[in-house]
Every structure is written in structure tokens, then in C-alpha cells.
Structure 1
Amino acid sequence: MKALRCALAALCLAAAPQLHAQSVAFSFDDGPRLSATPRLAPQERNAAMLAALAKHRVKAALFVTCGNGADRPEGAALARAWGQAGHVVGNHTMTHLDLNGEKTTLARYQQEVRDCDRIVSTLPGYRKWFRYTYLREGNTPEKRDGMKGFLREQGYRNAYVTLDTSDWRLDGKLVEVLTKDPKANLEPIRQAYLAHIKQRALAYRALSQRLQGRDIPQMLLLHHNLINALWLGDVIQQFRDMGWAIVTPELAFADPVYALEPQRSVPGQSLLISMGRSLGLTTQDIGLRLMDDGDFEIEGLKELGL
């Protein structure tokens, strides 16, 4: 364990200081959803996200939670549309179990991966990529090591995230506001959402420079939800306006940083946060706003009466 920590420290802190052009790849979790939202039917939400990606010529990855809809013909059709459009389709379990949950056994979690794979492996664009639910990789040595071994034996890539966001929290606020008033002015939520994405992007970029001595191709985590059906195009344009290049998930994962396995007793979260934790960085060292679940933006919206 000590040797591994030392090796990781050497990789992270002794990396060449020369920075490269900043890039980002887009990925989406938990889709496709068949649940109702105050605006846009499931098919419309799916089509809106795919249209935004197509308009901006972005290839992304969709990590399917099959119980959200892909286990039914109408939901499978939505997931299939992603593969047909040239996007990667990966595995995000059947029911989004939490591997850190006290009642979640290793065997049950692994079975959820197998069951989801039986569905997503039939879709165009399928890759044997797995993303941990909640980005939690196990709260006991049995779960942590058992899942790592399972992924290796089954040939899965751990589809790490580096640029984590709380889009789900702002999506919840969006749904809440529209439920109360379908004609509400949504511009404050749109602005808060874009500001949140920008803040996280800049903070994770700074963390990658600190830990790796360079810019890495960031893997962005968003979700298959209403907020992205409405404003994904704005998110993409904001990255371009910031001067960031948008790359494919395959190109991002080719970077050697994604081969690292930070050694922590409870691994998970953004790969960059996990790396920092393994090197002894505290929450204060890393920065609370990388882990506040969008509290800053939500409080700002409350001050505006939303």
C-alpha cells in the first residue's frame, strides 16, 4: 500500500510542468429516463439532448441505468438512438444501487452490472465501460477490491469522472419551480446552471494542474435530465467560449491519468479528488465548492425567491 501511494505521488507531483490545451469530453448518467417532467415528454427530452450534441458536433457517452427505462421497449429505443447517432453506450447498473450502502452486497451489485449488460450490449455504440453509481467504489475492502477484480476479469473499463457537477441538484430546482408555476421565468436557473458548470470546470482544471502539473482531458459528468434537455447547447457553447476543446470520450480516456488507481480506504468521487485524498489532501485543501452539491447556486436562487 505504501509503495503504491508513493508511486502515485510521484506520478502526480513530479509530472512535467508543461501545460497542454485544455479539453473536455461529455458523458451523461442515468438515462434514458421515462419518468414525467413538467416540461417535455421523455422522447422530447432525449431528442433535444441528441439535437444539441449533433448541432455542436459533439460525440458523448451515455451510461444507462436500465431500470430508468431501457428495460422497456420505449426506453430501449431512446438509448438505441444514442448509439445510432455515434455516441458511446455504457453500463450504469440496473437500479442505481449504492455500493456503499450497508444493505448492498458485492454479489448483488455485480449482478446488477451483469443484468444491465444483457440489455446495453445489444445496442449500437456499446462499449464495455462501467461507471460506478454515485461515483462510490465501495466502503469496505471486500467491496472495493471485489469490484476492481470483477471489472478486470470481465474486461470493463472503469469510466472515471474528473469534472463532476451537481447538475442533478439544479435540475431538481428546475422541476420544483416548473411544478409550482409552468410559466415561471427560468432565466435565473439557466444562468445559475451555467455559472455552476464554469466554476466546477475551472476548479477541476486548477486541481489537475496541481496534481499532475498539466492540463488533462477532463471527463465531464452530466445527467440525462430536463435541465440538459433545455440548456445542453448553452453548456457546450460556454466551454467553447472559454477556449476549451471538446474531444470524444475515447480520446479523453486514452490519457494515462485514467489508468491510475488511487489507493483509498473508501474510493470514489471525481478521480482528481480521489487522487488528492490518496495524497493526504483535506477537504479544505481541495476546496469545499467541489463537493457542496450546488449549495452555493441553490442559495443564490433562494435569495431570488426561487
Structure 2
Amino acid sequence: MRRILLFALLAGSAWAAHAEPVNRAFTYTGFHASQTTTHRFEGTTHTEGFLPDAQITGAFSGNDEDGDGILELGELCSLVAEGGHALANHTMTHPDLDDAKVTLARYQQEVLDCDRVIAALPGYQKWYRSTYLREGKDKDKRDGMRSFLRQQGYRNGYVTLDTSDWRLNEKLVEVLAKDPQANLEPIRQAYLAHIRQRALAYRELAQRLQGRDIPQVLLLHHNLINALWLDDVIGQFREMGWTIVAPAQAYADPVYRFMPERPGGSLLLSMGRSLGLSPSELGLRLMDDGDFEIEALGKQGL
């Protein structure tokens, strides 16, 4: 079985949290209102609906059951393509360009194969997001990939507001595997605190590097933690006074044309590294993969 990973983004007009000026704007990955996800732990089924009454952006994965490179219709295509989302490229099987065993030619073919699958679907955009947010630590790979994307008419779907939702999701799944009836409130609170900390830190970093607020692109994943609490995440951003905009509006900002010399992770971190800032100057909490929250949960016995 091969996994086809697609990077899907909101199509249509901006969805504003309230009528404040768009000075703390962001676009993010999330889920369509009609989707549900099911997780089974020790015979117990947990089914959660996604955010009601809102069409949100998302990153989704589907299975190429017969290995022919064609996505089966069904939930993925109806969810993304028929749901009115923009659809973009995140490679076919999610290889790591920094892996010495992954050649530049193989990685480029992954992008072409994914393009062949999604090109005929509604909402198709020539946006590409690097797997693991790694553009290639090897200069030849990095520059070769950038040249390839230009030749293919693709733009880089950079992330500025990176999160470790995946790490907290691992903790959530671990806790539920041990006890399907576990109290999840500490994990919910840790997750919201994590998102808030990252949002404030990346906003401050953008102001230092650019001298202004920029429309942030927030990375979240298609997983249980967002199935449970994406609506809480959105509510928190609204309470913080942030405005939600469509990806096309975010990517129109000139900051997303920057091509860092030292790429990897958030575009803002890459930009700071390229300007010679040290990890401590950039903010160590932005690089800890959720260690702070995981340690705090451990002290609570989770």
C-alpha cells in the first residue's frame, strides 16, 4: 500500500474572526465540516465530528490500494475536491529530501506523480509544500528542487507558524490506548497553550525580522487531536483577535517570495538563520517539538 499525501488549502474568500484590521492574519490546515474521524482503542470507538458550519483548510492523506498511482474516489476526493478546497502537492509518498538515500530525481518524480493524480481535480493549485518542511540541506538538492519547481510552474507553500501538534497527538493516542476513558482535559489545555505560545512567538519573530505583522501560515495535521479540539483552537485565535484569511491572500504577501539560504522548518526560522541569528536569538521554544508541554504532562502522570 502506498500513501498519497496531499496538501489541501481553503478556497474562496477570507473568513474573519471579527472586524478588526487584518494585521494578525493567518491561514491554517484543518478539516471540512462534514468529515468525521474514528479511532478505536481496546474495543472502544471514538468518533468525532469536525468543526461545524465552517469550511477550513486541511492536509489529508489517502491510500493508493492497488499501487497504480490513482487516488480512489470516496472520502478523500469528496472531502477535498468536492468540498470546495484548493488542492496542492505534498509529494506522492512523503519521502525526506534530506535523506541521502533519496535522490533529487526520485523526489522530483514524487512531485510529478502527485501532480498527475490531483491535476484533474477541482480546486487544483500549483502549490508545493516540502515534506517535513525540509527543502534540502544539500545545496545541490535545494537549488535543484527550486529550479525544478520554477520549471513546473509551482510555488513553494511555505509555513511560517509551525506547530508540534503531531507530538501532542502522539501523547493523546498513547493515553487513550492505555485508558479509553481517560480525562483528556490536561492534554486539551496543553495543546491550546502550545498553539498560543507558538502564535505569539512567531508573531514577535515576524515583527523583528520584517518590522511588521505578516499573514501567518499555520501548520496543523489531519489527526485525532484536531478532530477533538480544532474548534477550540479556532476559538482561541478569535479571542486573541486574529483574522483568518485564505491561503492565496497569505501567499500574495512578499514575505513568501523569500528563498532562505538556510531553509528548514518555519520560513521565519529559516529567514532568521539565513540572517545569522542564533537558535537562542530565534527562540528555543520554537524548536523543541513540544518538549515543554510533554514534560509538563508527564509531571501530571500522563
Amino acid of the residue matched to residue 26 of structure 1? Y
C-alpha separation in 2, matches of 1:97 and 1:127: 21
Q: Is the 8 A contact 1:163 1:219 kept in 2?
A: yes
* Deviation per residue, 1:154-189 (Å, 9 max, x gap): 011100000000000000011111111111111111
Give unpaired runs (5+ residues) of structure 2: 1-20
- The CA distance in 1 between the partners of 2:39 and 2:64, in whole Å, is 11
- Give the count of matched residue pairs: 274
**Alignment partner of 1:296 out of 287, 292, 295:** 292
Distance 1:94 1:246 in 2: 29
Which ranges of 4 or more aligned residues in structure 1 deviate by more than 4 Å? 32-37, 63-72
Q: Judge conservation of contact 2:71–2:117 (CA < 8 Å) in 1.
A: no
Q: Is the CA contact (8 Å cut-off) linking 1:90 and 1:128 kept in structure 2?
A: yes
TM-score, normalization by structure 2: 0.84
**Equivalent in the alignment of 1:27:** 29
1:270 to 256, 266, 271: 266
Identity of aligned residues (%): 60
Distance 2:280 2:167 in 1: 22
Q: Which residue of 1 aligns with 2:84?
A: 86
TM-score with structure 1 setting the length: 0.83
Distance 1:290 1:196, change over 3 A: same
Aligned-pair Cα RMSD in Å: 2.5
Tell me, in whole angstroms, the C-alpha distance in 2 between the residues paired with 1:40 and 1:108: 39
TM-aligned CA distance change 1:68 to 1:256, over 3 Å: farther
| Secondary structure at the counterpart of residue 277 of structure 2 | coil
Which structure 1 segments of 5+ residues have no match? 1-18
- For residues 49-68 of structure 1, the C-alpha deviation after alignment (integer angstroms, 9 at most, x for no partner) is 3xx1x52x3542x3455558
Give 2:281's aligned amino acid: D
Summarize deviations over 1:124-180 as a string: whole Å, max 9, x none.
222111100000001212210110011100011100000000000000011111111
Deviations 1:201-256 (CA, angstroms, capped at 9, x unpaired): 00000000000000000000000111111111111110000000111111111111
Structure 1 distance, partners of 2:192, 2:84, is 26
Quote the Cα distance in structure 2 between the aligned partners of 1:231 and 1:299.
21
**Match runs of 1:1-306 below 5 Å:** 21-27=23-29, 38=41, 48-49=49-50, 52=51, 55=53, 57-60=54-57, 62-65=58-61, 67=63, 72-73=71-72, 77-264=75-262, 267-306=263-302
How has the CA–CA distance of structure 1 residues 133 and 189 changed in structure 2, closer, same or farther, with 3 Å as cutoff? same
- The 1:34–1:226 alpha-carbon spacing in structure 2 relative to 1, beyond 3 Å, is closer
Superposed displacement of residue 73, structure 1: 2.0
CA distance in 2, matches of 1:303, 1:171: 18
Deviation at residue 21 of structure 1 after TM alignment: 1.8
Kept after mapping to 2: 8 A contact 1:26/1:221: yes
Q: Deviations over 1:89-144 (max 9, x none)?
A: 11111111110011110011111111111222232222111100000001212210
Q: Partner of 1:9 in structure 2?
A: none
Q: Assess, with a 3 A threshold, how the Cα gap between structure 1 residues 160 and 144 changes in structure 2: closer, same or farther.
A: same
